[in-house]
Amino acid sequence: MSGPEVETVETVESTGRPMRADARRNRQRVFDAARELFSTAESDPSMEQIARSAGVGIGTMYRNWPSRSALVEAIYREDLAGLTAGAAHYHDEHEPWDALVLWLRDYLDHARSKRGMLTELSVAFDARPELLSESRRQVVEATNVVLEPAQRAGVVRDDLTAADLMQLVRGIVLSAIVPPDRYTMLLDVVLDGLRA
Amino acid sequence: MSGPEVETVETVESTGRPMRADARRNRQRVFDAARELFSTAESDPSMEQIARSAGVGIGTMYRNWPSRSALVEAIYREDLAGLTAGAAHYHDEHEPWDALVLWLRDYLDHARSKRGMLTELSVAFDARPELLSESRRQVVEATNVVLEPAQRAGVVRDDLTAADLMQLVRGIVLSAIVPPDRYTMLLDVVLDGLRA
DNA sequence: TATGATACGGAAGGAAGTTCCGGTTACCAA
DNA sequence: TTGGTAACCGGAACTTCCTTCCGTATCATA
């Protein structure tokens, strides 16, 4: 299902030649600094802040990611890849219903952790609608790994697609401030609705 | 439950004196132009575009709404007031369960129509957290008008609050592109989860 | 109609994203 | 080791928006 090892940050330009060592180092520095700032800063960091924090000039950032939203996208993609890898694991190790529940909990946590980037992400989605559809496809694919077995086992209603399900769960988290214990309760409501 | 008639646009400054006729007219023009552009333009309209479209200088806009997000907020508030007025009507005219379903459908449509303003709204919410909490309070209040009767009638589970419910329904719409017929289906899933 | 309060328009300020290019550095061949 | 060159670097300058400010125009009232 998954390809060869994913490089954290692309290190080969379209020429086919490996990047120069300093360029590769700088690219990684920017990526790390950006991820750090996006997840911790209370207000959205400016491109200049990110560059300064990474110890590089602004030009260096723009050579690697041609726009702010491209940078946001790169970070988002990587986080998503880490998340979806979990579905297959749950499928191998648990009963169908339990695997589904575990996966949904992970997804819920992931979506919650992305709340701070919500504004940034919606700009990135506006700029490249493929990002939205493709990452949704990835999530749907991972969801199916646990959803289809549950449906075949007859514990989840059949008329529900993976896309429907993720939509429901994502909604629990987005654009809302809910006490943490409520999340579990809301997920339970959805789970009750799923049962065959 | 509702106060005296709501003026579409405030027409009295804090001095207590009525606004000058030209000022009142301009205020309304800006409001109408902004609502139009926000709901139709594919990219977010700039303040200058709004002003030009209203036939007014930029200064005139800023006298009425001191920032972009204040303008977004005003439009959002008005739309919300129109929506919440519907709950009482459904309560008066229908059985508890049906009233709840009708109200949730309205809310779903409302949230869907706000999708284009999502980025703008989240900026407004960041700027004034009270807006988020207050409009949520309004929605919760309206929801309770139909939810509590349904719970008293024993057709909806008791451990669910109005805030929980709206969270679930809002999630169906936000940050997603779903074919219209899927909305109904997703709402059905939530409704099944609600049943006592 | 005269006068003061109120409101108007748009130039200018400020902040953030993006482009561009002269200077610098890593890599490779000799 | 050393030169030559492609690749890369930094940051000034440009652009676009939001917002502020103030001289001018208009409305309301006596």
What does the CA dihedral A45, A50, A52, A55 come to, rounded to 10 degrees? 160
pLDDT score recorded for residue A4? 34
pLDDT (tens digit per residue) in A19-39? 899 999 999 999 999 999 988
Backbone angles phi, psi at B5, to 5 degrees: -50, 140
- Whether residue A172 and residue B171 make contact (CB cut-off 8 A), yes or no, is yes
CA pair distance A55, A57, nearest whole angstrom: 7
Q: What local confidence, expressed as pLDDT, does residue A1 receive?
A: 33
Range among A129-133, B4-8, B116-120 with highest mean pLDDT value: A129-133
Q: How far is the CA of B114 from the C1' of C14 (A)?
A: 31
Q: What are phi and psi of B9, to 5 degrees?
A: -135, 135
Interface test with A, best of B44, B135, B174 (most A CBs within 10 A): B174
Q: Tell me if A72 sits within 8 A of A123, measured CB to CB.
A: yes
Residue B40: phi and psi, rounded to 5, are -115, -40
Instruction: Tell me which chain A residue has its CA closest to the CA of residue B127.
Output: A43
DSSP sequence for A29-97: HHHHHHHHHHHH-SSPPPHHHHHHHHTS-HHHHHHHSSSHHHHHHHHHHHHHHHHHHHHHHHHHHS-HH
Alpha-carbon distance B145 to B167, whole Å? 17
Residue nearest C20, CA–C1′ metric:
A59
pLDDT computed for residue A10 by the predictor? 55
| Residue B19 CA, nucleotide C6 C1', distance (Å) | 9
pLDDT of residue B119 exceeding 50, the answer is yes
Spatial neighbors of B161 by CB under 8 A, at least 6 apart, are B140
Element housing B34 (H / E):
helix B21-40
Name the one residue in this structure whose structure tokens are 């200049």.
A48
Q: Do A175 and B170 touch (CB under 8 A)?
A: yes
**pLDDT tens digits for range A39-56:** 887 788 999 999 999 999
Distance, CA of A106 to CA of B17 (rounded, Å): 57
Q: Average pLDDT of chain B?
A: 84
Helices (H), B114-179: 118-127, 129-152, 162-173
- Contact in structure between B190 and B169 (CB atoms under 8 Å): yes
Q: CB distance from A8 to chain B under 8 Å?
A: no
Asked whether residue B180 carries a pLDDT value surpassing 90, the answer given is no
Q: Does the beta carbon of B176 lie under 8 angstroms from any beta carbon of chain A? A: yes
Question: How many Å apart are CA B51 and CA A18, to the nearest integer?
Answer: 51
CA distance A52 to A41: 14
How much is the pLDDT for B164? 84
Residue B40's pLDDT is what?
Answer: 82
Tell the burial category of A146 from Cβ atoms under 10 Å away from its Cβ (0-12, 13-18, 19+): buried
The helix/strand/coil state of B14 is coil
> Contact at 8 Å (CB) between A100 and A107?
no
> Is the pLDDT at B15 greater than 80, yes or no?
no
Q: Token pair for residue B166?
A: 């709206």
Q: What is the pLDDT of residues A133-190, one digit of tens each?
A: 888 889 999 999 999 999 999 999 898 889 888 878 877 766 455 566 777 777 788 8
